[in-house]
Chains A and B, each alone.
Chain A
Amino acid sequence: MAENPYDLLGVAPTASAAEIQKAYRKLAKKHHPDLNPGDKAAEDKFKDISAAYTLLADVEKRKRFDAGEIDASGAERPQQRYYRDFADMDEGRPYASSAAYSDFMEDENGFAELLRRARRAQANRRGDDMRYRLPIAFVEAIRGANKRITLPDGGSLDVAIPPGLVDGQVLRLKGKGAPGMGTGGPGDALIEVEILPDARFTREGDNITLELPISLSEAVLGGQIRVPTPTGEVTMSVPKGSNTGTILRLRGKGAPRRDGGSGDELVRLKVILPKPPDPELEAFVSTWAKGKDFNPREGNRS
């Protein structure tokens, strides 16, 4: 880039940072190579525009340029490959979609026949990608699992679910789609994983929450209780005087994080009175003076 960056962006040398950004966005949107997949010149234009912007958006660099200390070529973007370079090859799968013209192929006319034939006629056409849905249990999504999908043609597909998967994520199994023609090779299997809700656990980011009923005596006196986690039961101490809504944290018992470590399991306690009502408890509470004096709603009100 040798041209003056102000000229390239079409702004005055006195332009404010906001004006420069606005001008850049307007031009860049028009010339981004990925938004102009068939325009070979777009890449060079975009490169010049972004270099100009890189220079002028940096207060320090802009100052030095204005003072003549550096020239416009100092801010060139390194050579990069744009997405369109991949999408234009057969590597564009699994993203490329035929949604824009599939209706044309359904027509009963010469053009539709040409389209259909063009698709078929590719001697070394890669096989189609096959899409599947795979429902898995909540704990399987946390722990990871090996699942087998039975295919419509009677075959089967083994899928390794990585631990910590999120709902709706797509797993791509290379070469497990429909067979290709010639040397085209098979397509991929795209498996959309649906995580079924769990009666006990819910996931919030990396953490898992669980509502756990405890007895009145466990709440008042504390004690050791067994708590379910996705990886099995663990023992947890309930401190003396715990209440409904008290949240206890089991460190590292949540969903695994990909960068190592795990979230936590948050156990929300819920005090449950004995059922049916216990006459002894009723008798005690009716003679328990302090219990009557204590009003938990006090101070909560305005």
Chain B
Amino acid sequence: MSMGMSREQFLATSGARVHKLEFWLEQKWLIPEATDTGEGFTDREVARARLIQDLETDFGVNSEGIDIILHLIDQLHGMRRALTHLRADLGAKASSLPPDSQA
């Protein structure tokens, strides 16, 4: 994945307008990395920006709605992360059991 895009590169890649980006930053929907040369955006921010644009343009969600959706999605991914860890933990135990007792 490409590392550390500048603001200009991010705008070009995501197709977002400057004032939109500033609003997203203000809302903390995007959190670029602070680097010595300014903000560092990655493909992750581009993908997240695309999601915001999909919600806004294609689905007609307003900014209050987007705020809630992103919050829930972020919680969902936190859950998935915890589940992934649990799976690794439990999976290690389960594989030591006889095959027919595995779920």
B36 at the interface (CB under 8 A from A): yes
CA A101 to CA B80, docked complex, whole Å = 11
Who on chain A is nearest to B85 by CB? A118
Are the CB atoms of A114 and B89 closer together than 8 Å?
yes
B56 at the interface (CB under 8 A from A): no
Per the CB 8 Å criterion, the residue count for chain A at the interface is: 55
Contacts known (A37-B76, A166-B25); A85 close to B47, Cβ less than 8 A = yes
- Nearest-Cβ distance from residue B75 to partner chain A, whole angstroms: 4
**Which residues on the A side are within 8 Å of B48 (C-beta)?**
83, 86, 95
B16 at the interface (CB under 8 A from A): no
Contacts known (A25-B60, A100-B76); A119 close to B82, Cβ less than 8 A = yes
**Which residues on the A side are within 8 Å of B94 (C-beta)?**
none
Are the CB atoms of B60 and A81 closer together than 8 Å?
no
CA A188 to CA B88, docked complex, whole Å = 25
Are the CB atoms of A95 and B77 closer together than 8 Å?
yes
Who on chain A is nearest to B79 by CB? A100
A174 at the interface (CB under 8 A from B): yes
Are the CB atoms of A259 and B18 closer together than 8 Å?
yes
Interface residues of A (CB under 8 A from B): 24-25, 28-29, 32, 34-35, 37-38, 50, 53, 80-88, 91-92, 94-101, 114-115, 117-119, 121-122, 159-160, 162, 166-174, 188, 190-191, 257-259
